[in-house]
Chains A and B, each alone.
Chain A
Amino acid sequence: MIPRGVSVRDLLRSSSEGGGFVPPSSGDFELPPIFGDNVYTTKPIALVFLSVILISAFFIISSRKAAVVPSKLQFAGESVYTFVRNDLAKDVIGHDFLRFVPYLFTLFTFILVNNLFGIIPLLQFPSMSRVSFPYILALTVYLVFHYVGIRKQGAIKYFKDIMFMPGVPKAAYILITPLEILTFFLVRPLTLSLRLFANMFAGHLLLLVFILGGEHLFQGVIGLKLISPFAFGIGIVLTFFEFMVQCLQAYIFTLLAALYIAGALADEH
């Protein structure tokens, strides 16, 4: 089928009608504004507001007229709520958990719906792949857990406990204190936000590569045309994989937020 002495690269080069396949890069994530040139009306912002509308509408409807024997919609809303309340808040935080359930529930549903926009057919852009959204979410988690720790233990004792962990021999402080300071104040919010951002960015990029690549192959010589269904097939498999990753990332973000809050609330080590 492919004559001897010709590599796939040569085939790809010759199949170009304008310079060959341009792989998707981070420039593909910068979408133009919709209304005029105001930078606040781009597609990611529209998606974020859409997610707020969807979440509010769904949960307000599913919780009105709460019957003892629930209807299907009420059951769906209740299962999401009980999942966050029991598995995420109660098991992790312990006996003081009710105060934090609204916050954790908001985080979980917001991140989940925004992630799912990455595979919904007409929308197809995970708004968490623009890095500012995860930064702000991680910033709110950071403020919450420091505030909770300071409220519970008093500012001086809280910072002293972080920097000089009790129960450690004095000589090890030189090693441990810089590490603890870096972890608590810098690394935790950074990795929290970058984990979410990187997963969504990489997932969207993967899907783009396979689907755009399949389409490009389809326009090539007959040898390449026969490979393009495989590219689309891999694209479909990756969509399911992306779905799992998106749910997992929403769960992990909320779980880590709950763990940090639990760590700040914990009594003496």
Chain B
Amino acid sequence: MSSREENAMWSIFGYLLSGLLFWGGIGYGLDKWLGTGYLTLIGLLVGISGAVYLVWLRFGRQ
């Protein structure tokens, strides 16, 4: 794999992981604050779908 592709792969990992952690963390915080149980999952799903969309916008189209 050329180094440019490698860099791109690592930054894709970073985007996806950070989207997951950020929105999952928000969902988890809201859960603790409001006492519900499912907001973490919704946060995680929103995070991953947003991150995948962002990655596709930035990297998928040439």
Contacts and interface: CB of A to CB of B under 8 A. Distances in A.
Judged by CB atoms under 8 Å, the answer to whether A and B touch is yes
Contact of B28 (A41, A56, A60, A73): A41
Given A60-B56, A60-B59, A64-B59, 10 more contacts: A38-B31, A38-B40, A53-B48, A56-B52, A57-B16, A63-B60, A64-B8, A65-B62, A71-B1, A72-B1
Interface string B17-31: 100100010001001
Interface in A22-64: 35-36, 38-41, 45, 49, 52-53, 56-57, 60-61, 63-64
Contacts of A71: 1-2
Interface of A: 35-36, 38-41, 45, 49, 52-53, 56-57, 60-61, 63-65, 71-73
B12 A60 contact: yes
20 contacts: A41-B28, A49-B20, A49-B44, A49-B48, A52-B52, A53-B13, A53-B16, A53-B20, A56-B12, A56-B52, A56-B55, A57-B9, A57-B13, A57-B16, A57-B55, A60-B59, A60-B60, A61-B8, A63-B60, A71-B2
Size class of the contact patch on chain B: 20 to 34
Given A52-B48, A56-B55, A61-B8, A38 B13 contact: no
By secondary structure, the B interface counts as helix
Main secondary structure on chain A at its contact with chain B? helix
Contacts of B1: 71-73
B40 to A, nearest CB: 5
Interface string B27-62: 010011000011011001000100010011001101
B26 to A, nearest CB: 13
A41 B21 CA distance: 11
B28 A35 contact: yes
B41 A40 contact: yes
Contacts of A36: 28, 32
A38 B28 contact: yes
A113 to B, nearest CB: 14
B55 to A, nearest CB: 6
Contact of B5 (A35, A56, A61): A61
